[in-house]
Amino acid sequence: MPHRPTRRDVLAAGASLALASQADGFPSILIRRGQKPIVIASANGNTFKNGGPRTCVEEAFQRMTSGQDVLESLIAGVNIVELDPKETSVGFGGVPNAEGVVQLDSCCMHGPKHWAGGVGALEGVRTPSSVAYKVASETDHHLLVGKGAQDFARDMGFTIEPDLNTESSRRIWLEWKRRADPDHYLNPANRGGGDPALLSMIKDGILDPIHAWGTINCDGINEKGEICGVTTTSGLAFKIPGRVGDSPILGAGLYVDGSIGAVGSTGRGEANLYGCLSFLIVEELRRGAHPKDAGLAAMRRMKQNTVEKRLLDEKGIPNFGMQYYILDAQGRHAAISTSRGQFAVCDESGPHFEDCVFAWG
């Protein structure tokens, strides 16, 4: 009776063929190809270089594909943006709060290790994402805020600076101070349509609307399928001192499940916090949704949750910005936005921009 080859026979034959090919000078047969590595980020992740040779996504991709830990690679990438004084929505030179003080928020999550760290209202440290990483790797906590976060950063060896303003960020704040009610609180009896001073500065071209609510999110997956993410921001421009947005909050500004995917956000943090929408997107991915469809589901939920007239346009559509950057465990990715724009990507073809999916299209 003829011998029927077993699975072990087939694998052994394949291994022998691969070895024989190598001996003959031919490339070996690749029986299994790993995950294609990729890094995605908000658009500023492929814009700012802080005087260096690479953008955030380039730096992260190069480190990640050279064997460095995925999360460490992503943080090295966003450090470039945090340190660049020209980027006024992140890190050093970020637009300050209502009292002229730069307060920074950040969160990071490590998929394979199942841990995370965050900081909120951190003053005096240019790279809050690096402090968030130390919270994750050196403590049993997730989130440290205010003076406690600063004291921890000092204990970890970070330089504490008295002021993170640049000439540009201070000039923007002084212009706002001239235009605004210094109390900076909404009138409970008349909750108007946003901060009139901030909106007038955007209208007059003094402040880019992206940098009024801007942030950077960066997510990556390596050839082993290890997935991580980081979000970092200077928060809402001219916020009430002590305000912490969605960026450092698990499930809102960032959420990673190492077997499912990574999601981060930029935009109006309060709207995102209300629905924990990064967590919702990951759960949609878990049910098998494509990143695009998962992100659109979150946008529908956000629209449903937005009921105050001051936050809606004449068509009943949310009048604020929100973006989600989504990367699943298969390497599929998408960005969903309330405005037409682009996001940053770096893969084997190099750094480039791709179009966001318009949420209301």
Pairing of strands 38-42, 216-221: antiparallel
Q: How confident is the model at residue 198 (pLDDT cuts 50, 70, 90)?
A: confident
pLDDT in tens, 46-83: 999 999 999 999 999 999 999 999 999 999 999 999 99
Q: What angle do CA 337, 338, 342 make, to 5 degrees?
A: 40
Where is average pLDDT lowest: 30-39, 71-80, 218-227? 30-39
Residue 311 CB coordination number (10 Å):
18
Question: 221, 218, 219, 251: which is closest to 330 by C-alpha?
Answer: 221
Phi, psi of 351 (to 5 degrees): -75, 140
Report the distance separating Cα 69 and Cα 103, nearest Å: 28
pLDDT digits (tens, 9 = 90+) for 288-346: 999 999 999 999 999 999 999 999 999 999 999 999 999 999 999 999 999 999 999 99
Please, what is the average pLDDT of the chain? 88
93-109 residue pLDDT tens = 999 999 999 999 999 99
Residues tagged active-site = 215
Place of tokens 């073809």: 349
pLDDT score, position 7: 46
